[in-house]
A = this chain, B = another copy of it.
Amino acid sequence: MPKLTEEDRQNLLPALYEAGWKPADGRDALNKTYKFSGFVEAFGFMTRAAIYAEKWNHHPEWSNVYNRVDVTLTSHDVGGLSERDVKLAQKLDALAG
């Protein structure tokens, strides 16, 4: 799966930006911080997300401090964003909902 083209980006990224995703600093990657009501809710989200990440063989870079989960998505094999990142971002938003 190739890197997103300029046209792909114009089609796919605005909806993610509206959902709170941002370009990661200095990288062709997407970043979002989720806040939950506590640790169990935050880690529960991570657990659901982990199952999809493994199923789709596309894994986030992520960190957790208590009720916060910070996620960065990029496709290391193509050196930037691909459709896999868009798909995983959408799934994470659905799982966090």
Interface positions of A from 50 to 91, Cβ below 8 Å from B: 50, 53-54, 59, 61-66
Partner of A63, one of B39, B50, B53, B61: B61
Copies in the complex: 2
Q: What does the 1/0 interface line of A17-51 toward B look like (CB < 8 Å)?
A: 00000000000000000000001100100110010
Decide: B61 and A40 in contact? CB cutoff 8 A.
Answer: no
Decide: A50 and B43 in contact? CB cutoff 8 A.
Answer: yes
Decide: A65 and B61 in contact? CB cutoff 8 A.
Answer: yes
Q: What separation, in Å, do the CA atoms of A72 and B39 have in the docked complex?
A: 16
Decide: A39 and B54 in contact? CB cutoff 8 A.
Answer: yes
14 A-B pairs whose Cβ atoms sit less than 8 Å apart in the complex: A39-B50, A39-B53, A39-B54, A39-B59, A40-B54, A43-B46, A43-B54, A46-B46, A47-B47, A59-B66, A61-B64, A62-B64, A63-B63, A63-B64
Besides A39-B53, A46-B46, A62-B64, 17 more A-B contacts (Cβ < 8 Å) are A39-B50, A39-B54, A39-B59, A40-B54, A43-B46, A43-B47, A43-B50, A43-B54, A47-B47, A59-B65, A59-B66, A61-B63, A61-B64, A61-B65, A62-B63, A63-B63, A63-B64
